[in-house]
Amino acid sequence: MSEQNEVTQTAAPQEEVSTTLPTIIYALYLANLVIPFTGLVGVIMAYVNKGGAAEFLQSHYQFQIRTFWIGLLYAVIGILTMAIIIGWLILLFTVIWLIVRCVKGFKYLNQKEPMPEPTSWMFG
């Protein structure tokens, strides 16, 4: 009986890390497709919360920050080239790119794992 008590005492409970804020940021990015400026709110939240976050969450915040800035770059290029048909294709790619990045972010966040390639320019 004493062995069982020792095992339970040595196995300390792990601290539960909340993934609510990164989840909200991914949702804000997706909402930005319909409601303007929610992505801006999301990137501000990512910058504010990145510093004191758990290690695996820091990779998500870095991924989210890069998603915002790279997505903005793709969108600007798409808008500037809309006069020639390729701009519409760039904007379509940007929407698909954003959705895929957010879905992958949700997946790894739900598993409480870091983003494998948070500095990726493509889908992460």
Instruction: Name the pLDDT band for 15 (thresholds 50, 70, 90).
Output: low
Average pLDDT over residues 21-32: 94
Q: Which residue has the higher pLDDT, 9 or 80?
A: 80
Average pLDDT over residues 9-37: 81
Does an H or E element contain 50, and which?
A: helix 38-50
Instruction: Name the pLDDT band for 55 (thresholds 50, 70, 90).
Output: confident
Sign of CA dihedral 51, 53, 124, 96: negative
Summary mean pLDDT of the chain: 86
* Domain spans of the chain, in order of start: 19-110
Predicted confidence at residue 52, as pLDDT, reads 83
Predicted confidence at residue 121, as pLDDT, reads 77
Instruction: Name the pLDDT band for 8 (thresholds 50, 70, 90).
Output: very low
Contact criterion met (CB below 8 Å) for 40 and 28: no
Average pLDDT over residues 19-47: 94
Q: Report the candidate in 4, 37, 41 with the shortest Cα–Cα distance to residue 24.
A: 41
